[in-house]
Amino acid sequence: MTVQEKTIANPALPSFLTRGDLKHFIGGKWVSAQGGEWIETFNPATGAVLAKLARGRQADIDAAVAVARETFEGSWQHITPHQRHALLMKVHDVIEANWEELALLETLDMGAPLMRTRSLKAYVLQVISFFATQTSRCVGQTIPNSLPGNFTTMTLKAPVGVIGGIIPWNGPLPSQWWTVAATIASGCTAVIKPAEDASLTVLRVAELLLEADIPPGVINVVTGMGAEAGSALAEHRDVDRISFTGSTQTGRAIIRASAGNMKRLQLELGGKSPDIVFADADLDKAVPGAGMAVFNNSGQVCYAGTRLFVQRSIQEEFVARLAEFAKGLKVGDPLDNSVQLGPLISDKQLQQVLGYVASGQEEGAKLVSGGQRIQGDLSNGYYIEPTIFSGVSNAMTIGREEIFGPVVSVIPFDTPEEALKLANDTDYGLAGAIWTTNVKTMNQMMHGIRSGTVWVNCYGLVDPAVGFGGYKHSGYGWKGGEQHIEGFLYQKSICINYD
């Protein structure tokens, strides 16, 4: 691992951050918190206060939901599929034109290297374009019936209403579109509650949507704490659907909160994904692939391949090569375009990850490399070295619990059957991967791994037209593909009597 010796001079702040304290965005206007309270958000690279956000509570959620409901039941319901498609293509162009500002905001807010946030442009535009193609998905069927008399039977589909979107802090710039674009495509309206640690790009996107002629009130944003604004949104009886990405613990709370009005739910929750490397794999691809499956975004990825199963005959070589790869990663100021890994999102997250590192050592795992908070010029930020443990078992805490940091646990196996047994020995089922050149092994593993996504000789690739989803404690509901829009619609049957 290489560490940037000196921090670089920060570029001029985006004008969005020079306006002063940031309010809620409701009905196309900036609105102060009804309680007049604020929360601070920090730059994780420096620990300095970046902005003050309105602290939303129940009253603010009530106001935003009321606007979203009024908009849904007003003129927005008469916008045709063709018009929604045209609007989403305008959104595509506006986001493309403002991408540099959005990438910088994201980097300042949650610490992802500017190299990474800039590179997300093509993917985000692809997601928006995909949802533009889904505006005509509100389709039903005319079905032959066996009723006596002169009848026609059919089904229709219609938007469910007001969506509550709770956006995670580990990548709000790309992740918000699963709710925002789908809301527009389906004809719903939404109230978005971004994570208190990273709200800036969600607020700025909501404002930019007006430039794309999205009517005020279609997308509304209330900032605040999860236990306050987030809970109020999840419990609100006039919200018809919740789209949530976050921890399994919070997901369970949202499931309980949804019972009040039987909300529909889409939950992308935690993961402890297996990444399995066989002895016949192309190690020149498998080593960096497995490394970035964990270290990408400093390990703050829900489907990170943190349980790395390596066939015993190549384990020593693989771990040595993985350690060498990790040492070559540049960690430092995320505003430096050559930096590959930035800080963790907060001091709280840093302490949690360091606690897992200590736990691994206490339980007998071998610390191969990393594991330390980075000091020197980066000491004010929330930086940790990319970390590799070997000699790990599924019974250890680091082999069982989601760490959400750049920490990989290497676990040996001998046979494909043993690899499958170990891979599936987890409460989670979000993703998994295999590295092999043997077609029979590929087939056995891709059918045997119990998870929503399986990658073969690659990791982390997501096509919005295909989508992804969780299994077991990793949640339910599908992001992307035709099924995604189906979750924003409800079906009704129609029976017409002509006599």
Residue 475 CA: distances (Å) to CA of 7, 18, 256, 345, 478: 40, 39, 14, 23, 9
HSE value, Cβ hemisphere, 13 Å, CA-based, for 382 = 26
The candidate with the shortest Cα–Cα distance to 161, out of 102, 237, 55, is 237
CA geometry: angle 380, 382, 387, nearest 5 deg = 130
The candidate with the shortest Cα–Cα distance to 129, out of 493, 434, 464, is 464
The candidate with the shortest Cα–Cα distance to 99, out of 126, 85, 117, is 117
Instruction: Yes or no: say if 166 and 234 are a contact pair by the CB < 8 Å rule.
Output: yes
Choice among 268, 316, 418, 486 that is catalytic:
268
Choice among 106, 228, 235, 302 that is catalytic:
302
The residue with tokens 């399986």 is: 454
The residue with tokens 């509304």 is: 220
Q: What are the phi and psi torsion angles at 117 (to 5°)?
A: -65, -35
- Dist. CA 63–CA 80, nearest whole Å: 27
Residue 25 in 3-state DSSP? strand
* Long-range contacts at 175-180 (CB < 8 A, ≥ 24 apart): 175/245, 176/201, 176/202, 176/205, 177/124, 177/127, 177/128, 177/131, 178/127, 178/243, 178/245, 178/479, 178/480, 178/484, 179/243, 180/205, 180/209, 180/219
Annotated catalytic residue 188: no
The candidate with the shortest Cα–Cα distance to 206, out of 231, 184, 227, is 184
- Dist. CA 58–CA 48, nearest whole Å: 29
Q: Are strands 330-331 and 2-3 parallel, antiparallel or unpaired?
A: parallel
Annotated catalytic residue 302: yes
- List, by residue number, the catalytic residues: 268, 302
